[in-house]
Structure 1
Amino acid sequence: MPVLRQVVGETLRGARLRQRRTLREVSASARVSLGYLSEVERGQKEPSSELLAAICGALDVELSELFWEVSITLRREEKLAVAGGRMATMPGAGAARISVAPGSATIGPRVRSLPTVAA
């Protein structure tokens, strides 16, 4: 499963590239150093909410749009991980294998899966 900061960075980079803008342009507009913005886009730095708001403002992208795209990507990756029977891990936690019976909405004892969101 991807790390959240990597998906956020990839999503921001995608928005910037779709606008055909350079790192220099966006960093100047957001008042963020070029190097730091580059690290955010590469998933090496986890940006604060203030920094995300500044970058989104520079890209003319609503913060909610960014999180929506990130959630879609994460959901897709989670489905692939479950379908492939891969190990799901979280930093600081042990690994757990998740298996879901076809047609079942139950993942574990008294835990129900989230409703599917159409992409």
Structure 2
Amino acid sequence: MPVLRQVVGETLRATRMRQRRTLREVSTTARVSLGYLSEVERGQKEPSSELLAAICGALDVELSDLFAEVSSILRREEKLAGSSVALVGNSAARIAVAPAAGSGGTQVRALSSVAA
């Protein structure tokens, strides 16, 4: 199961990168120290609601939109965690395990490849 602060941080970083903005720009606008913002983005610090609001304001993103994106990512990761995932090289394959027809054994088959 993913850690919430890591998903929030990754989502904030992705938003900032899509805007082609630097940590320094966002930290200055949000009035948050550069080091602290960096730790939030790396999932090392759990930001308060006030800090999240300031960062979202600096990124010109609604807090509700941030939470919607985080929720979507968490939902996707939880669903993937519900199915077995086997790593193959640098990618992963979703695996289904089902009873084999007529043999009493188990049949394993790859369903699809997913990004690791």
Alignment partner of 1:69 is 2:69: yes
Quick check: 1:40 aligned with 2:40? yes
- Alignment partner, residue 14 of structure 1: 14
Structure number with greater Rg is 2
Partners of 2:43 and 2:84 in 1: CA distance? 25
Deviation, structure 1 residue 2: 1.0
Structure 1 alignment gaps of length 5 or more: 86-119
The letter for the 1-side match of 2:60 is: D
The equivalences for 1:83-94 within 5 A come to 83-84=83-84
Secondary structure of the corresponding residue to residue 74 of structure 2: helix
Question: What is the alpha-carbon distance in structure 1 between the residues aligned to residue 25 and residue 79 of structure 2?
Answer: 36
Runs (4+) of structure 1 moved beyond 2 Å? none
Aligned residue number for residue 80 of structure 2:
80
Give a deviation string over 1:5-57, Cα, whole Å, max 9, x none: 00000000000000000000000000000000000000000000000000000
Percent of paired sites with the same residue? 85
Q: Which has the higher contact order (CA 8 A, sep 6+)?
A: 1
CA drift of 1:84 comes to 1.6
- The separation in 1 between residues aligned to 2:2 and 2:35, in whole angstroms, is 23
Q: TM-score normalised to the size of structure 2?
A: 0.72
TM-score by length of 1: 0.70
Q: Which residue of 2 aligns with 1:96?
A: none
Q: Give the CA deviation at 1:72.
A: 0.4
SS in 1 for 2:20: coil
Gaps spanning 5+ residues in structure 2: where?
86-116
* Aligned residue-pair number: 85
